[in-house]
Amino acid sequence: MAGVERPGSATRWGFLSPLARGQYAALAWIQTRMFLNGLRTRRGSVELGARILTFFVFSAIAIGPSIGLGIGAYIGVSHGLRLAPAVLLWVLFLAWQFFAALAPALAGQNPELSHLLRYPVSFGTWLVLFLVYGLAAPSTLIGLLWATAIGIGITVARPDLFLWTALTLALFVFFNLLLSRMILAWIERWLAQRRTREIVTAIFLFLALGAQALNPAFHQSGHGSLYGIGRQKPLHLPSRVWNVQKVFPPGLATDSIFQAMQHHPLKGAEDMGWLGVYVLGAGGLLALRLRSESRGENLSEAPRRSTKARAKVRSPALLDFSGPIAAVIEKDLRYLMRSGPMLYNLAAPLVMAVVFGGAMRGNRVSSIRLEYALPIGLVWAFLGLTRLICNNLGAEGDGIQFFFLSPTPMRTVILGKNFFHLVLFLLEAVLISALVIFRFGLPAPSIAAATLAWLLFAIPANFAAGNLLSINMPYRVNMARIRRESGALGNGLLSMLTQFGILAVGAAVIAPCGLLGHNWWATPILLALAVAALFVYLRVLGNVDRMIHFRMESLTLEIMKTN
Amino acid sequence: MDSPAIAIRDLTRRFGTFTAVDNVTLDVAPGQFFGFLGPNGAGKSTTIKMMTGLLAPTSGHIELLGLDFATHPLEIKRQIGVVPEGLALFGRLTASEYLRFVGRMYGLGRDTTNSRTEELLDFMNLADEPKKLVTDFSHGMQKKLALAAAVIHGPRILFLDEPFEGVDAIAAGTLKAMLQRMTERGATIFLTSHVLEIVERLCSHVAIIHQGRLVANGSLDELRAGVAASTAGVPGELVRGGGSLSGPQPEEKLTLEELFLRIVSGAGSETPEEPVQELSWLA
């Protein structure tokens, strides 16, 4: 029995055991091979290009603020301003979690490791792999860069604090890493099943409505603007707020560094100890979630087998009209209603609209910028649908073959999907418009007309580009998980570029007209562009069957592949 | 012979320099239960994919029910049913939702779709768990559902890629009964399977593909005659070319498995008689 260890023999299962080390090496090797083999294809090269471009984009997003954070930390520490590092660490903490929450839009966050379940991978190894694979997430990279910048700023101001700062920030970074992973893993779990999904949705709606109701009241009560801190008054926080924030990780990290500055290492160590407790808490909750996953939990929506008499088979029709288009819409609607991640994706722009809506109003943004709140809100509404529109076959899985076997032309299938996505967009647009109008009031008629004309251009343009991307760069979507998907980056990047292009066209028309004081001119120009976009959309739709005929094999392979 | 339900001529499919299917010519008469056999990687699934429109042939001609696939793909698809290798199921629908979806995609009216859905779910014993998603079905249940979806529109030709793999004996019995009833009513069934006993019991005609080439085609008796002839050194042919096979009648009645092994080992490099290498490290 050479080479095979039987149960009961002295196999070590720790995450540093020889077996685990062999597994890490094997995974590293297979990842390298997959990467190199992927480069042989055009798609693989596009993915690499997209990866490099994404890296630069995120680096650009991260580098500017990191310089500011570093300088802020230097000034704060060198002048003994305790508030400055506290604010910076809070910014880091919130930004990290914000970018992690945007995970689906950023092509996933947590890695999909369920395929490793068939191998003898211990839980410790599983956990290590989960964290290591997740290091490449944009939120982690941005967070690490910002934390490094803060660390450099503090160290330049006080070189003697280098070790202490490094240790504290390392603990703080580790906490953020665990927390973002933990939150997403639990959200994914809650969204996976209908009952928990409904509870989470209800809590979210309650909090969102509560925030909407409280925010204006807060502003009217003369408490001043929370968002305006630092602009209208010198940096000052009430001592109660200061004391409360001190018990949270950013406050603990700040306090630990300042205690060390004031030569109170024991008090600093105590803060660090409490920070360690937070790390253990976040890690524990993450481990709890991953433990279930590593045991192969089934998050399906299937009810337990019923012992009752056979229930009536027919389930009610969602849409009471026949025909393939209605069938496609009904199927996609059922898929959407059963997919937590998809619903999360759709809800994300609304959540952000609530958050930014409050921030913009609180910040007393200039009236010129507020005039454009409606078009900006509608651009935002497209974001939640980008993945659906630009990869509209990705969720079909094995079912993609059915479309190719059925006598329904693919043009009809795609038309049904476009129609469904249009309805979703309109729903989202109405909600966001209502929110924008509620927060900022009605826009000028000329701006409203230009926005409507831009929408008439943007919708067919989006669907035309989306259909092309769906056919030429599809990737398989896992409807049940918020996970990084192979091949999503290239498609995601091009779909984002498309969105920016469509936005840029609108801005290039509306902004000059506004500057010239003739807002009404934008409407006919955009309507002319809308006619052109509709023509392009119809051309693309008319060619769908021909394009799919030539790409049927690769489409089937991409969408049916398991890993 | 009536005009064939399936007529393929010089069908070829190449993937780069590799030829998966090489000049295959085949006729299947209406109402025939036709078995399409071959070792792993022989080209069975590729052939079925080309015959059902899932894969474009490199060259050759496919005609189903007298219609050219290249020019009438949708008319043909309306009249055929397919259970492909990947089953083509939508995992996040329930069985009844899936069947109703399929019925509507084939242009059936709502009432017809609903009544056939209930009938099929009952027949396939899938009606017990109406809320269970397809993705949570066992492999056997998924197979039954895929078969139900393939017949909901009453196809005149049914293509089945390994329909009995992973299906329990009771379900296999149900499926066999249904398929036999379909052929009695005039439907043509084109089936690939590795379970040769089932093929022998069900199929009236068999073709064997090996390394992309058709190496045998005919009724079981015709194949037996061909094998006997080639064993006796009498010139005979295994692939029917419009006429009947020549050669002496077989004295012994070979099973399909024996026929298959002899034909495949005679046609290619595989030699089943060769002893399996000992894998000393296995338990």
Q: DSSP letters along A377-400, please?
A: HHHHHHHHHHHHHHTTTTT-GGGH
pLDDT of residue B274: 53
The partner residue sitting opposite B127, judged by closest CB among A310, A331, A338, is A310
CB contact under 8 A, B77 and A406: yes
The partner residue sitting opposite A303, judged by closest CB among B91, B118, B131, is B131
Task: Provide the CATH number for the domain formed by B6-267 in this structure.
Answer: 3.40.50.300
CB contact under 8 A, B93 and A335: yes
CB contact under 8 A, A314 and B117: yes
Nearest chain A residue to B116, by CA: A314
Residue A410 to residues A335, A562, B105, Cα–Cα distance (Å): 19, 24, 11
Nearest to A189 by CA among A202, A200, A173: A200
**Does pLDDT of B242 surpass 50?**
no
Mutation target to probe the B interface, by most B beta carbons within 10 A, among A297, A299, A300, A401 is A401
pLDDT of residue A205: 60
The whole-angstrom distance between A185's CA and the closest CA on chain B is 21
CB contact under 8 A, A315 and B94: yes
B-chain CB neighbours of A406 within 8 Å are 77, 102, 105-106
pLDDT of residue A232: 44
The partner residue sitting opposite A549, judged by closest CB among B56, B84, B281, is B56
Model confidence pLDDT, tens digit, residues B92-125 = 788 998 998 888 888 888 889 999 999 999 988 8
Domain boundaries defined on chain A: 18-202+242-294, 324-560
Residue A313 near residue B99 (C-beta atoms within 8 A): no
CB contact under 8 A, B129 and A2: no
Q: Classify A322 as helix, strand or coil.
A: coil
The whole-angstrom distance between A553's CA and the closest CA on chain B is 7
Nearest chain B residue to A326, by CA: B104
Query: Given the DSSP bridges, would you call strands B80-83 and B157-161 parallel, antiparallel or unpaired?
Result: parallel
The partner residue sitting opposite B281, judged by closest CB among A2, A310, A338, is A2
Quote the pTM value: 0.69
Confidence of residue B129 (pLDDT cuts 50, 70, 90): confident
Nearest chain A residue to B133, by CA: A302
Query: Given the DSSP bridges, would you call strands B6-15 and B188-192 parallel, antiparallel or unpaired?
Result: unpaired
CB contact under 8 A, A313 and B130: yes
Nearest to A182 by CA among A281, A115, A295: A281
d(CA B39, CA B43): 9
Helix/strand number for chain B, H first, E second: 9, 10
| All residues at 6 or more sequence positions from B273 whose CB lies less than 8 Å from its CB, including other chains | B265
Helix (H) or strand (E) holding A562: none
The partner residue sitting opposite A327, judged by closest CB among B78, B101, B121, is B101
CB contact under 8 A, A315 and B97: yes
pLDDT of residue A467: 94
The partner residue sitting opposite A407, judged by closest CB among B74, B94, B281, is B74
CB contact under 8 A, B110 and A406: no
Residue A226 near residue A362 (C-beta atoms within 8 A): yes
pLDDT of residue B241: 41
- HSE (CB half, 13 Å, CA atoms) of B94? 21
CB contact under 8 A, A313 and B109: no
ipTM score for this prediction: 0.72
Q: For chains A and B, what is the number of CB pairs under 8 angstroms?
A: 127
Q: Please give the mean pLDDT across all residues of chain B.
A: 84
CB contact under 8 A, A398 and B128: no
The partner residue sitting opposite B54, judged by closest CB among A312, A317, A404, is A404
**Does pLDDT of B22 surpass 50?**
yes
CB contact under 8 A, B86 and A560: yes
B-chain CB neighbours of A556 within 8 Å are 54, 86
What is the mean predicted confidence (pLDDT) over B183-209? 90
SS3 assignment for B217-231: EEEHHHHHHHHHHHH
Q: Classify A272 as helix, strand or coil.
A: helix
Q: What are phi and psi of A329, to 5 degrees?
A: -65, -45
pLDDT of residue A298: 55
pLDDT of residue A206: 62
The whole-angstrom distance between B28's CA and the closest CA on chain A is 20
Nearest chain B residue to A307, by CA: B128
B-chain CB neighbours of A398 within 8 Å are 86-91
The partner residue sitting opposite B104, judged by closest CB among A300, A323, A339, is A323
Confidence of residue B194 (pLDDT cuts 50, 70, 90): confident
d(CA B168, CA B173): 9
Mean pLDDT per 10-residue interval, chain A, length 563 residues: 44 71 77 72 76 78 86 87 84 84 55 66 80 78 89 90 90 91 80 67 62 52 42 55 82 89 87 92 89 67 45 48 81 84 74 64 53 79 83 88 89 92 90 81 84 92 94 82 69 86 89 83 92 94 90 83 55
More confident call, B245 vs A50: A50
pLDDT of residue B88: 84
The whole-angstrom distance between B229's CA and the closest CA on chain A is 41
Model confidence pLDDT, tens digit, residues A329-361 = 888 988 888 777 777 777 777 776 666 665 555
pLDDT of residue B125: 87
Q: DSSP letters along B256-277, please?
A: HHHHHHHHHHHHSS--TTSPPP
Model confidence pLDDT, tens digit, residues A209-267 = 555 555 555 455 444 444 344 444 444 556 777 777 888 899 999 889 888 888 888 88
| All residues at 6 or more sequence positions from A388 whose CB lies less than 8 Å from its CB, including other chains | A342, A345, A421, A424
The whole-angstrom distance between B269's CA and the closest CA on chain A is 30
Burial tier of B178 (Cβ tally within 10 Å: 0-12, 13-18, 19+): middle
